[in-house]
Structure 1
Amino acid sequence: MKQTTSSFRQLLAKCLTLLPVVLALPILGYSATAAASFTSAEQLIGATETFLEEAVTNYLQRSEIHGRHEIRVNRLDPRLRLALCDVPLTTTLESPAQPLGRVTTRVRCDGSAPWTVFVPAEVRLYRHVAVLTRPLKRLSIVKASDLSMAERDIGQLSQGYLTDPAQVVGKKLTRQLNANQVIAPSHLEAAEVIRRGDQVVINAVGANFSVRMPGEALTDGAPGEQINIRNLRSQRVIRARVVGPGQVEVAM
């Protein structure tokens, strides 16, 4: 009798040891089946990242834009349940027209259980743009020593930017700017290369001739501007286009 009781206790202890495993098997089996029947968030994110990487690379090559880009796909709702697609997913750009900034992609399954989902993302493009190395007041003429080229996310530069120092050097500021501030096109205007009272050379250009004569500037002028010039030979006041320091042109 004692031997029977001891055997029963050993058997009962063994059953109790295996009980958690036996109970877990249906749960684990159910979870694996459920996970296999849905398209995972990782698959949607992967499809979006792959599509955007190719789209951004092609766009930059077509536009001849040199820069570094980053792609960040937003987190998806964990409650999202989409049937597992039996064909490769199709991804297209929903908005905007170009794959830059905040974008929305359309991920679509065209299989036996079709569905469509929109995945938001952000594409950041970093380029080297002109920034000031020191504060400058309004009407200051920008020198090469006032500039440096720094990497910035151009998606954050709503006023625009400049990528060539030649677009900045020699220009006049329309407003005061701080050190490390990105220079936008609206911050610049052409600086005067002729001042009132300057002695200039007037180039009168016709179809078959060109005549040079001395003149005096009556107003300041930047390249391309029309200013008043006094012809020192005839004393007549004419309108002439500024072409450079001490040089104006009149079309005859």
Structure 2
Amino acid sequence: MKTHTTFFRHVTATCLNPAGWLYLLGILGYAGHACADDITLPEQLIGTTQGFLEYAVEDYVSKTNIEGRTEIEVNTLDPRVRMPLCDTQLSSKLQSPAEPIGRVTVKVSCEGSSPWTVYVPAQVHLYRTVVVITRPMQRGMVLDTGDVALRERDVSQLNLAYITDIDQAVGQKLARGMVQDQILGPVQLERAELVHKGDSVVISAQSSGISVRMPGEALSDGGMDEQIRVRNENSNRVVKARVTGPGQVEVSM
């Protein structure tokens, strides 16, 4: 017992390197700390990662003109991590992915006389105002203004594109069923055909304050704002017209 006590005092007096500390502390069951002046603490690694990501995210958002707000969350490191004190300034680099959004890994390195590298995981949240569905909807349903709304959501983990403009959604048809509050993306939309070939349509024309309406027949399918061929039933002439709604087209004069 006396031998172990003498040996322990010798260790604390000489302040072993971090690797030696972890080995000896594991053997002796001691919960103390190595000399703080000779190690790089986990808190320092987290602080370095936080500072690097703040700069990287700000630069990324500025260059890409993304509107939104960001939050950075650096993962807690194992408190037993004790890297040797670096005699140069720590360097940081984004290890993965290519952009500092979502789940990221930052490479923190010491390039001094005793080089080492630690990989620090973090999460960069990106909150943007996006279009969401306001009620459960089935495939094939056409979106109206009441079916969609703008909400702030964390899009950092999304694997698919999303929509930020309600006008891009209204009048479109759902390609798959969706639940309430689900974020809407282009992949979930398809063109809604408001006019079908053979449909009776109302042809409208305006010029100098004069509005003319006449019956017609659609000669092709068409969605909102699409140009289709229609036959004027009064003159039997075929003209190109823009779809303005179900059974409604407009010709230029």
> Fold match, TM over 0.5?
yes
Q: Tell me how far 1:235 sits from its aligned partner.
A: 5.2
State the match for 1:141 in structure 2.
Answer: 142
Greater helix fraction, Structure 1 or Structure 2: 1
Q: Tell me how far 1:70 sits from its aligned partner.
A: 2.0
Structure 2: which amino acid aligns with 1:55?
A: A
2:157 & 2:241 partners in 1: Cα distance?
Answer: 38
State the match for 1:115 in structure 2.
Answer: 116
State the match for 1:247 in structure 2.
Answer: 250
Matches within 5 A, 1:77-226: 77-195=78-196, 196-200=199-203, 216-223=217-224
Secondary structure of the residue aligned to 2:86 is coil
Structure 2: which amino acid aligns with 1:49?
A: Q
- Cα-to-partner distance string for 1:65-97 (whole Å, 9 max, x where unaligned): 222222222233444332101222111111111
The worse-fitting range, judged by mean Cα deviation, of 58-67 and 133-142 is 133-142
Q: Tell me how far 1:243 sits from its aligned partner.
A: 5.7
Structure 2, unmatched stretches of 5+, are 1-7, 16-31, 206-213
Change in Cα spacing, 1:234 to 1:87, as seen in structure 2 (3 Å) is: same
Which 4+ stretches in 1 moved above 6 angstroms?
A: 24-28
2:46 & 2:193 partners in 1: Cα distance?
Answer: 55
Change in Cα spacing, 1:135 to 1:50, as seen in structure 2 (3 Å) is: same
Change in Cα spacing, 1:148 to 1:236, as seen in structure 2 (3 Å) is: closer
Is 2:46 the partner of 1:45? Answer: yes
CA contact (8 A) 2:42 2:82 kept: no
1:117 & 1:32 partners in 2: Cα distance?
Answer: 20
Identity of matched residues, %:
45
Larger Rg: 1
Change in Cα spacing, 1:167 to 1:113, as seen in structure 2 (3 Å) is: same
CA contact (8 A) 1:200 1:217 kept: no
Structure 2: which amino acid aligns with 1:85?
A: C
1:157 & 1:110 partners in 2: Cα distance?
Answer: 36
The worse-fitting range, judged by mean Cα deviation, of 101-110 and 221-230 is 221-230
- The CA RMSD measured in Å over matched residues stands at 3.3
Q: Tell me how far 1:221 sits from its aligned partner.
A: 0.8
1:136 & 1:33 partners in 2: Cα distance?
Answer: 60
Secondary structure of the residue aligned to 1:156 is coil
Q: TM-score, normalised by structure 2?
A: 0.71
- Cα-to-partner distance string for 1:172-197 (whole Å, 9 max, x where unaligned): 22233222222121222233343422
Change in Cα spacing, 1:129 to 1:73, as seen in structure 2 (3 Å) is: same
Q: Tell me how far 1:138 sits from its aligned partner.
A: 2.8
CA contact (8 A) 1:199 1:217 kept: no
CA contact (8 A) 1:224 1:241 kept: no
